[in-house]
Structure 1
Amino acid sequence: MATQVVQNQSLNNTYSAFTKFWKNVKAVTGPYWYPTKAGERAFSDVIRVWGMLILLISLIITLVGVNVFNSFIQRYLLDLMIKEKDLPKFFDALLLYGVVLVLATLFVGFTKSVRKKIALDWYQWLNNHILSKYLSNRAYYKINFKSDIDNPDQRLSQEIEPIASNALSFSATLLEKVLEMTVFLIILWSISPQVAMILVAYTIVGNLIAVYLTQELNKISQEELESKADYTYCLTHVRNHAESVAFFQGENQELNIITRRFSNLIKNAKRKIDWEKNKEIFNRGYQAVIQILPFIVFGPLNIKGEIDFGELSQAALSCNLFAMALAELINEFGTSGRFSSYVERLSEFSDALESVTKQPENVNTIKTIEENHLAFENVTLQTPNYEQVIVEDLSLSVQPGEGLLIIGPSGRGKSSLLRAIAGLWNAGTGRLVRPPLEEVLFLPQRPYIILGTLREQLLYPNTNRQISDAELKNFLQQVNLQNLLSRVDGFDTEVPWENILSVGEQQRLAFARLLVTRPSFTILDEATSALDLKNEGSLYQQLQETKTTFISVGHRESLFDYHQWVLELSQDSSWQLVTVQDYRNQNTSITKTTGNTPLKIDSFFKDKFQTKLENSTGEGLSHKEMNALTSYSLSTIRSKASKGEFITTNNGFIYRYNKDPKVLKWVMG
């Protein structure tokens, strides 16, 4: 009874797997061959591709007919040579045989060409279809939060083309070889029904064994595909983070990770080699039996004179061609395992892209209204999974030309508010009023550097805008990048910009892009974090001169000088909106006196500099640490240290240099 249950469960699993596979195949192939949605495919394209498919089928049928005709001509030639010995008829038949062979050769080449053209057209359409899903409704961004979808870039670049090519190759081979096997089996039946029946029974048994071997290879192929994707991803990861790896000197750790993933790839490759060896031995042995069968059966009959040599030759040829057709068919079933893996992964990827772009039902979302100003109206913002409230009941309005600075403890959702403005996050309640996104330019902390020329970097995202080289040079001058052109051959030079520009230079390049674009609204997420105060001040002053409305996220106290309003987020999801002056007045809570000099620091920055304050009363600060807290150069700081002069930091603290040989540090007071 237990055995019966296991068998039934195995059958159910097989049926379920086949049903799922067929569903995936229809999902991938349906929109191309059987479009059901309006605008999915142009009717003329569908007619054209079906016409090419009908041509392919006709060519395959014709090719099989030519091969069959060849077998009869070969039989006739042998009869002329052995029985009739008629030289003129022999040369006529030989000429016809040669012409048919030439036609067969042309048909083979033309058939493969048509098949590959259909596969290429299908690949082009399928790639564009999936790519449009990937880049629409910001699915490329949202898919990163779906943990079960790995390596989307590889799925796009390496796993779409094999679906089209394998599907056409398998379908064409299946049709051609089934037709060949059927026709040559009929020929064998006409010569000897017994041999034909033995061949059919032998074929059934052989196919059952082949199916088992193919299933095992399919599993290994799926694991191999995943291990290759993981290995490729870790190499790409090292390339994208080369500088960080170099700073950390993490080469050995990265090598361990790469080696571990490569070992998994090799392990799967070895398993595949072993199973392919078993399959190859089976295929060769299977063909050998079929090839020797006609000689075992028909050889004695020919010797006895019961059949002529031409019939023996045609029977042997038919068995041989039957065996070759079957071998190719079994081989295609073997590669179909890879095809099923590709189909499953692409279908999974396509479904995930549709899923992440669907608006969830029965959940609260922030309503977005497009108007020519920016305002939050009773907005409660949550994380996309609705597990955490970022800010509660936020209401504010940013007037045209004003600047709003968002501050708060790290991890309290400052950047999340910017994501809400961009429409990336909308979980929550309330109303968000913002201008059309085409009028907003976002400057993140790590600027986005495109793959393109210097001209395209400056004009992005509207790279078709026409601006003269002189104007572009002026913009580079304004952001203190006038020397950049001396490092490349001109504005139309394409180099790996992320590798040759420092983060500070990238941030200034992003500001040049802002000056070129002159958007009505600008969002800056710590966009000057890698710049010194002088460059930061210059860029913000130019930003103010553009009369754009801007919102900044930042920690630097210097940013207060360029904004009119401060939005402070707190740990408990509360907030306060005040003017910069009021914020400074109400938060002056730390006072320390040195002589007659009062020292003040805002409470918001207390945590940030607390470590430095503790160090100054203990171990003190080095020249480089003082350089980071002041506008002085290292040489000036060393000079003041030698002269025993005091230094006031950017945040109002006064330090002196302790020349005690056991200290030699800058200490407070």
Structure 2
Amino acid sequence: MPTSPKKNVREKKRLQLDWRFVQRFLSIQKVLFPSWTSQSVLMFGTLLVLTLTEQLIIYQVGILPSQFYMVLADKDYAAFRNLITLAILLILLNSTLKSLDQYICSQMYVGWRQSLTENLHADYFRGRVYYTLNVLREDIDNPDQRISQDTERLCKQMSNMASRIIVSPFTLAYYTYQCYHSTGWMGPVSIFGYFVVGTISNKMLMGPIVHTLFQQEKLEGDFRFKHMQIRVNAESAAFYRAGKVEHMRTDRRLQSLLQTQKRLMNKELWLYIGVNTFDYLGGFLSYIIIAIPIFTGIYDDLSPGELSALISRNAFVCIYLINGFSQLIDLSTTLSDVAGYTHRIGELREAMADILRRQCDYDPASGDNYDFDSDFNIHAGPADTAFVLDRLSFRSPDSDELLVEELSLKISQGRHLLVVGNTGTGKTSLLRVLNRLWEADSGFVQMTTCFGPRGILFLPQKPYLTDGTLREQVIYPLKDIYPASGSVDDERIIQFLELAGVSNLLKRTGGLDEKVDWNWYDVLSPGEMQRLCFARLFYLQPKYAVLDEATSALTEEAEGQLYRLCKQLGMTLISLGHRSSLEKYHDVSLRLCGGGRWELTTLKENGADDGHVIEDTGL
């Protein structure tokens, strides 16, 4: 969605390596390291021990050339042979430690990704957060990408940085001491000054990269979403022969993404130049530092062999110290990636926390945190009432015009309500307010019966089919099969599939628990999807069924059969629809007239046939 220039300025200032980044990064670390006894802390400690041991081995390998100079200058064959053996053992040990280092980093990456993703999922699927983020909030782009892709990349980059970062303080301190011992104060001071200049330069070069990376990830999500949109709606687009226009619009998103990637590459070019320049200059700096004590005559009393050994040892110490600083500078590009992903994930976490704070004053009976499997027979609130509305007014979140004004209504058990009105008058919007998906503009609305089986269930206008087996489609949204997978439950499911008119799905899927490798939306017709949703409704058997155009794809005869079955199973119906044939199954009609106006009338007794269509199920 387009944003105002002021918002863009604020966003650009925010997405830097600043205090806000530090706060977001530390909040993520609390998720990755929840306690001192957590697995992440133990693995981090093990990695520290391994890397320190690895550095000790590297130091021994690094000073071997100086010993070779001495042995070869003295032509000592026995000592040379021992050095070769020692070198092979040290190299094998170092290779093993380095491999373990990489293995632990990989394990940490998997553990971090699991912890952070599950933490995001816990808030994302709590209450109606996922709905608010995807439908009502415009400031958070592509929450799905932030959870799946950005989280993976952040954890990957952090695991790549881990071993180098945790060992750096120890190696820098140790080699600073060794460098001072070999070259005096001039060596460490020169190297530290060199590092400070490099850090400042790279900080200036990284600033613009973080914001551009943030924008690139947003456009990546937009481009992927466009392809997902075409995949989901391929048939509808094909009926419109819309290949050319979708091609154009998809290419447009691709071009926007590639232009941002090019801008990012241009900015990264200067960072790469700076990093590589400091890497190569570091090699020359080590020789300059070594040359100072040599040209000042400090080592004039040494023989050529001893001087060569000393130069080799000092060169290793100085070069390794410079290399330690250079590695930190090399992390600049990785750090800019980490900063970009940290801002995107941190921004998402803050938005979800804000949504949850706004939801905290909801009536507990609304069922925002209802556990469908906790108690299949739960009851809450007055036994004969579902909703109480008192002078309720509401509007669309993106409009200033009231859809309904000061509506007062009590929806009670046994009084079936039909909501009618022209398109755009707010019928489905009323259900959103009742289900607490939208906030009321004024007035009062209360759900006085629990949400879920034996309480209130909604059948949305677009049938929702989850992934999984036929059994999982019928029992949705139960997490587990109730009362248990077995002959009794199987008989109930099969009976309700027959009553809903989709028993043929048993043959097409191969049974209730056979996994299918196709998309339900691609295989079922609109009518079959609606019938399957009614089979779900029959299985869950709520006291109140809220139906939003739930039979629009069915014939009036099929519609009547399903409505009669709902009433015979004890459900009180709250229906939205355009067909006049629906009136015979309801007692009260609420007509939304537009402009906030509404009419409530009692329907005439019409003697609709509610006779037995099904046998007693014993439920």
**Distance apart, 1:251 and its partner CA:** 1.6
- 1:405–1:560 Cα contact (<8 Å) kept: yes
**Distance apart, 1:211 and its partner CA:** 3.0
**Distance apart, 1:87 and its partner CA:** 2.2
Structure 1 residues 147, 297: CA separation in 2 closer, same or farther (over 3 Å shift)? closer
**Distance apart, 1:64 and its partner CA:** 1.9
Query: Which residue of the partner structure matches residue 173 of structure 1?
Result: 164
Equivalent residue letter for 1:51: L
Query: Which residue of the partner structure matches residue 313 of structure 1?
Result: 312
Query: Which residue of the partner structure matches residue 280 of structure 2?
Result: 288
- 1:565–1:577 Cα contact (<8 Å) kept: yes
Structure 1 residues 522, 326: CA separation in 2 closer, same or farther (over 3 Å shift)? same
Equivalent residue letter for 1:435: T
Q: Which has the higher contact order (CA 8 A, sep 6+)?
A: 2
Q: 1:446 aligns with which of 429, 439, 462?
A: 462
- 2:496–2:538 Cα contact (<8 Å) kept: yes
SS of structure 2 residue aligned to 1:435: coil
Query: Which residue of the partner structure matches residue 422 of structure 2?
Result: 409
Question: Is the aligned partner of 1:493 residue 2:484?
Answer: no
Structure 1 residues 237, 327: CA separation in 2 closer, same or farther (over 3 Å shift)? farther
Structure 1 residues 575, 98: CA separation in 2 closer, same or farther (over 3 Å shift)? same
Equivalent residues, number: 562
- 2:401–2:595 Cα contact (<8 Å) kept: no
Query: Which residue of the partner structure matches residue 95 of structure 1?
Result: 85
**Distance apart, 1:319 and its partner CA:** 4.3
Query: Which residue of the partner structure matches residue 520 of structure 1?
Result: 543
Question: Is the aligned partner of 1:481 residue 2:502?
Answer: yes
Q: 2:108 aligns with which of 106, 111, 118?
A: 118
**Distance apart, 1:78 and its partner CA:** 2.2
Question: Is the aligned partner of 1:549 residue 2:572?
Answer: yes
**Distance apart, 1:486 and its partner CA:** 4.2
Query: What is the CA–CA distance in structure 1 between the aligned matches of 2:475 and 2:326, rounded to whole Å?
Result: 58
Q: How does 1:147-186 map to 2 (within 5 A)?
A: 147-186=138-177
Equivalent residue letter for 1:29: Q
**Distance apart, 1:447 and its partner CA:** 0.7
**Distance apart, 1:547 and its partner CA:** 2.0
**Distance apart, 1:473 and its partner CA:** 3.8
Question: Is the aligned partner of 1:457 residue 2:480?
Answer: no
Query: What is the CA–CA distance in structure 2 between the aligned matches of 1:199 and 1:376, rounded to whole Å?
Result: 74
Query: What is the CA–CA distance in structure 2 between the aligned matches of 1:55 and 1:416, rounded to whole Å?
Result: 56
- 1:367–1:431 Cα contact (<8 Å) kept: no
- 2:416–2:585 Cα contact (<8 Å) kept: yes
Question: Is the aligned partner of 1:370 residue 2:370?
Answer: no
Moved more, 51-60 or 562-571: 51-60
SS of structure 2 residue aligned to 1:575: strand
Q: Among all aligned residue pairs of Structure 1 and Structure 2, give the percentage whose two residues are the same amino acid.
A: 25
Structure 1 residues 392, 325: CA separation in 2 closer, same or farther (over 3 Å shift)? same
Query: Which residue of the partner structure matches residue 355 of structure 1?
Result: 354
SS of structure 1 residue aligned to 2:358: coil
Unpaired segments of 5 or more residues in structure 1? 1-12, 34-40, 585-669
Query: What is the CA–CA distance in structure 1 between the aligned matches of 2:359 and 2:491, rounded to whole Å?
Result: 50
- 2:405–2:596 Cα contact (<8 Å) kept: yes
Question: Is the aligned partner of 1:423 residue 2:436?
Answer: yes
Query: What is the CA–CA distance in structure 2 between the aligned matches of 1:359 and 1:273, rounded to whole Å?
Result: 41
**Distance apart, 1:423 and its partner CA:** 2.9
Query: Which residue of the partner structure matches residue 6 of structure 2?
Result: none
Query: What is the CA–CA distance in structure 2 between the aligned matches of 1:126 and 1:55, rounded to whole Å?
Result: 21
Q: How does 1:52-131 map to 2 (within 5 A)?
A: 52-82=43-73, 84-131=74-121
**Distance apart, 1:184 and its partner CA:** 3.6
Question: Is the aligned partner of 1:338 residue 2:337?
Answer: yes
Query: What is the CA–CA distance in structure 1 between the aligned matches of 2:593 and 2:314, rounded to whole Å?
Result: 89
**Distance apart, 1:540 and its partner CA:** 1.4
Structure 1 residues 583, 173: CA separation in 2 closer, same or farther (over 3 Å shift)? farther
Query: Which residue of the partner structure matches residue 18 of structure 2?
Result: 18
- 1:73–1:97 Cα contact (<8 Å) kept: yes
SS of structure 1 residue aligned to 2:444: strand
Structure 1 residues 73, 234: CA separation in 2 closer, same or farther (over 3 Å shift)? same
Unpaired segments of 5 or more residues in structure 2? 1-12, 367-379, 608-619
**Distance apart, 1:573 and its partner CA:** 2.9
The TM-score normalised by the length of structure 1 is 0.76
Deviations 1:459-485 (A, max 9, x none): 212251335555444333322324334
Structure 1 residues 350, 493: CA separation in 2 closer, same or farther (over 3 Å shift)? same
Query: What is the CA–CA distance in structure 2 between the aligned matches of 1:536 and 1:111, rounded to whole Å?
Result: 65
Structure 1 residues 357, 102: CA separation in 2 closer, same or farther (over 3 Å shift)? same
**Distance apart, 1:407 and its partner CA:** 1.2
**Distance apart, 1:294 and its partner CA:** 5.0
Structure 1 residues 226, 433: CA separation in 2 closer, same or farther (over 3 Å shift)? closer
Query: What is the CA–CA distance in structure 2 between the aligned matches of 1:250 and 1:151, rounded to whole Å?
Result: 25
- 1:52–1:114 Cα contact (<8 Å) kept: yes
- 2:151–2:345 Cα contact (<8 Å) kept: yes
Equivalent residue letter for 2:459: L
Structure 1 residues 298, 253: CA separation in 2 closer, same or farther (over 3 Å shift)? same
The TM-score normalised by the length of structure 2 is 0.82
Query: Which residue of the partner structure matches residue 644 of structure 1?
Result: none
SS of structure 1 residue aligned to 2:18: helix
Query: Which residue of the partner structure matches residue 435 of structure 1?
Result: 449
SS of structure 2 residue aligned to 1:493: coil
Query: Which residue of the partner structure matches residue 637 of structure 1?
Result: none
Structure 1 residues 290, 570: CA separation in 2 closer, same or farther (over 3 Å shift)? closer
- 2:16–2:210 Cα contact (<8 Å) kept: no
**Distance apart, 1:509 and its partner CA:** 1.0
Structure 1 residues 240, 318: CA separation in 2 closer, same or farther (over 3 Å shift)? same
Query: What is the CA–CA distance in structure 2 between the aligned matches of 1:222 and 1:416, rounded to whole Å?
Result: 35
- 1:380–1:390 Cα contact (<8 Å) kept: no
Query: What is the CA–CA distance in structure 2 between the aligned matches of 1:147 and 1:115, rounded to whole Å?
Result: 37
Query: Which residue of the partner structure matches residue 597 of structure 1?
Result: none
Query: What is the CA–CA distance in structure 2 between the aligned matches of 1:270 and 1:576, rounded to whole Å?
Result: 59
Deviations 1:292-336 (A, max 9, x none): 455577688799957621122223333443454344322212111
Structure 1 residues 481, 48: CA separation in 2 closer, same or farther (over 3 Å shift)? closer
Structure 1 residues 287, 318: CA separation in 2 closer, same or farther (over 3 Å shift)? farther
Moved more, 457-466 or 170-179: 170-179
Query: Which residue of the partner structure matches residue 601 of structure 2?
Result: 578
Query: What is the CA–CA distance in structure 1 between the aligned matches of 2:40 and 2:188, rounded to whole Å?
Result: 38
Structure 1 residues 134, 22: CA separation in 2 closer, same or farther (over 3 Å shift)? same
Query: What is the CA–CA distance in structure 2 between the aligned matches of 1:328 and 1:245, rounded to whole Å?
Result: 52
Equivalent residue letter for 1:432: Q
Query: What is the CA–CA distance in structure 2 between the aligned matches of 1:440 and 1:397, rounded to whole Å?
Result: 15
**Distance apart, 1:366 and its partner CA:** 12
Q: How does 1:571-650 map to 2 (within 5 A)?
A: 571-581=594-604
Deviations 1:257-311 (A, max 9, x none): 2111111222233334444444444444433333345557768879995762112
Q: How does 1:153-302 map to 2 (within 5 A)?
A: 153-193=144-184, 194-293=186-285
Query: What is the CA–CA distance in structure 2 between the aligned matches of 1:538 and 1:572, rounded to whole Å?
Result: 35
Q: 2:592 aligns with which of 557, 561, 569?
A: 569
Query: Which residue of the partner structure matches residue 395 of structure 2?
Result: 383
Query: What is the CA–CA distance in structure 1 between the aligned matches of 2:144 and 2:359, rounded to whole Å?
Result: 26
Equivalent residue letter for 1:215: G
Deviations 1:180-202 (A, max 9, x none): 34444443433334455444443
Equivalent residue letter for 1:236: M
- 1:566–1:583 Cα contact (<8 Å) kept: no
Equivalent residue letter for 1:340: A
Deviations 1:115-143 (A, max 9, x none): 33333323212211111101112111122
Equivalent residue letter for 1:430: F
Question: Is the aligned partner of 1:146 residue 2:163?
Answer: no
Query: Which residue of the partner structure matches residue 400 of structure 1?
Result: 413
